Amino acid sequence: MRTIPGGVAPRERPPGPTRLQEVTDFGANPGNLRMCTYVPRNPQRALVVVLHGCTQTAASYDLGAGWSTLADRYGFMLLLPEQRAENNPKTCFNWFRENDITRGQGEAASIRQMITTMAIEHDVDPRRVFITGLSAGGGMTAVMLATYPEVFAAGAIIAGLPYRSATSTRQALESMFRVRVRTPREWGDLVRAASPHAGPWPRVSVWHGGADTVVKPKNAEELLKQWTDVHGLGTQATRTETVDGYPRHVWTDASGEVVIESYIIPLMPHGTPLASGDGDESYGVPGEYLIEVGISSSYHIACFWGLTEKRPAASRPRRTAESSAATQRVVEARPAKGSEPTPAPVRAEVIEQPGPGDVPPPRAGRSEGPGESAGAGRDKARKSGVSAFVEGAIKRALEAAGMMKRR
């Protein structure tokens, strides 16, 4: 195994700093992906796999969602696979291509090999491996949970789709915008047929914006139908509670353990929910498809996985104005207004998903300013999300991108 300090290759490195290291020569790589990692001081043997969205990099999504900050605080290690433009012009993970979503093949096999490499090099506890992703990364998270369920204790799918909701570009577009509906048993059978595994199954967290026009929110319902069936549960939640002002639906097994949870954030467009700031439950920096709504999905996902139960591994560093500005530049870089879209990825912009009808990225809500209450900040974020939703719908009618295909 060979590492490159400072992260991704120079020709694809985003502007600003990165905390990641690239690992090369990690073994079989049939999906032609890049492997990036972050290992904090005194790691606690748990591993979190983080999958970025389209046109993002591993580094930009890490900074935007706050995962390496969480890793510093709680001691878990990070693996951040990164897509290459040679595989997909928008650097989306190919969650809808047969050769990439089958056990032992393509991108799924590459990610599995990266996990094996991390396990060997860093003595990862095989009972404490987790995975999460946004949009195309969320779709690939569903792929990994289905094709390698024995590897993961749990996963979290943000603005994603069920496993095998699509096996072609055309089906991907239909699933995203029109939603593919199946019975719970039909969805569950697709997971059970994806590997020889017979259980126990990974626990699953599902997050989605209620105003998402890129991946329709009903996809979250179909995801929940898939995983409740896999766990042998009904579609009706065991209970509903409120977390940071938002409803959390919970499904428990026969022993009372929470095995599935879901958050639908009303009025939030497509993206990862954030609560930015310096509080103990605030992580990430708002940017394109990294949306300030007053709840940190990264933090609450880590809680759901049990990674925050032990004493923090280190005090959380306070963000300075200089470091915040640098981070903001990484996750908010975008083309000049009025510029024409190009096939080459804008590495820190997040334009999710392939084909005609791509929605331009909504602008993130503003974080709370001095003297604003959490509720006031959240209300402003929600209003901003509505404006972005309307603007996106108009632009979507005017703009179209080319179909994705492997070169």
Residues tagged active-site? 135
- Nearest-10 crossing angle of helices 136-147, 184-192: 70
The most distant pair of C-alpha atoms in the chain lies apart, rounded to whole Å, by 56
CB-based burial, 126-155: b 16+ in 10 Å, e otherwise: eebbbbbbbbbbbbbbbbbbbbbbebbbbb
Residues forming a β-bridge with 24: 2
Gyration radius (Cα) of the chain, Å:
19
Give dist(CA 260, CA 112) in Å, integer.
Answer: 23
Note the helical H segments in 178-320.
184-192, 218-230, 297-304
- Residues 279, 297: contact at Cβ < 8 Å? no
CA 247 and chain centroid, separation: 20
Q: Are strands 77-82 and 47-51 parallel, antiparallel or unpaired?
A: parallel
DSSP conformation letters of 354-391: -STTPPPPPPPPPPP-TT--HHHHHHHHHHHHHHHHHH
Which residue has tokens 């632009």? 395
Give dist(CA 156, CA 262) in Å, integer.
Answer: 9
